[in-house]
Amino acid sequence: MLWPHARIRHARNVEILERVAAARRETPESEAWLGLLEAAFGESEDGAPWAAGVPRPAADRPVKAPVLSHTEITLDGRAARDWVRRLLKLTPTVNPRRIDGLALLEAAVCHDDARLDALAAAGGEGVEPHALRVLGQMAALPLLQACGRELASELPATWWEGYCPLCGAWPVVAEYTGLERKRQLRCGRCGTGWAIPLLRCVFCDETEHDHLGYLTPEAGEQTRKIEICHTCKGYVKAVTTVRPLAPWAVLLDDLTTVPLDVAALERGYRRPDRPGYPIEARIAERPPMRGWWRLVEVGGGWWRSLRQDEA
Ligand SMILES: [Zn+2]
Ligand SMILES: [Zn+2]
């Protein structure tokens, strides 16, 4: 496929390219978000190129607060806005001129749908609210995935909550890995995985056998099921894997198993609208560089050095 905008980075990871191509063949109707997702994967490969350093976790955060809770995330404002604009150009139902890229990133990182809807409303007629929610999450993906990698060492050794210890989102999948079928919850935003006892509802902490169960597909698929809770009516998709899914693959897996969500919804189960823990992170803009020096990336990740601009 030709990119509608030449400056979108291409993902180089062959496995990603193959999985996205397969998803395109299987669900051609998902082209709109697959295009966004592919762009976000491409942008993620070298870290979030517009992030100016790793956010420092708040020293006094409560025990149950995720690592990104109340952090200040500094971005190269111009580069970050440019990234959001490139993504907006892939979305015909959102007029790019009406959206402030940094406000969008902040609302999306905080998983604050009400704020995203307010941004859509402020954008006027040219902005479709649902499209903006999806776009916001895709725009924040490179940043959240970089945080997932760079802040992994800050994760608490044990974590008993159902929500992501890094970004506060509910898990999109429970993964049963290897011969011992160890249960890991996985975050679709930052890719973080965390272990939680087998029989316990992610959303309401229910542990009674009688109140927990699962739905299985009628035929075929042996590796899939849906864990359900009769107490809160919540559900989470589950998958059996040989090895843990790569962080990028968690989100792709979630987006390509929509029939399982439909099956759960049809039986009266649902996922909470709000994130597990609102992290209330802030996005700050790094002051613009003076003169003809600019920040360039060296290697992968977030480390950069100053170099004289060759242009
Ligand atoms: Zn997360
Ligand atoms: Zn429950």
Give 195 Cα–ligand 2 centroid separation in angstroms: 17
Give pTM, 2 decimals: 0.87
**Distance from residue 142's CA to the centre of ligand 1 (Å):** 12
Q: Could you count the other beta carbons within 10 Å of the beta carbon of residue 211?
A: 15
Q: Indicate which ligand has the atom closest to the C-alpha of 235.
A: 2
Parallel, antiparallel or unpaired: strands 72-75 and 282-285:
parallel
Task: Supply the mean pLDDT for the chain.
Answer: 86
For residue 131, report the distance from its CA to the centre of ligand 2, in Å.
Answer: 29
Contact 45, 257 (CB under 8 A): no
Q: Amino acid identity of 47?
A: G
Reading phi first (left if > 0) and then psi (alpha if -120 to 50, else beta), residue 302 is in alpha
What is the residue type of 303?
Answer: W
Distance, CA 157 to ligand 2 centroid (Å)? Answer: 24
Give the pLDDT confidence of 77-125 residue by residue, as tens digits: 999 999 999 999 888 777 777 789 999 999 999 999 999 999 999 888 8
Closest ligand by atom to 68 CA: 1
Going from N- to C-terminal start, the domains of the chain cover 14-154+281-308, 173-266
Phi, psi of 173 (to 5 degrees): -150, 145
Give the separation between CA 270 and CA 286, rounded to whole angstroms. Answer: 40
Which range is least confidently modeled, 10-19, 33-42, 65-74, 155-164? Answer: 10-19
Q: Residue 249 to residues 135, 170, 191: CA-CA distances in angstroms?
A: 18, 17, 8
Q: Give the C-alpha separation, 168 to 265, whole Å.
A: 23
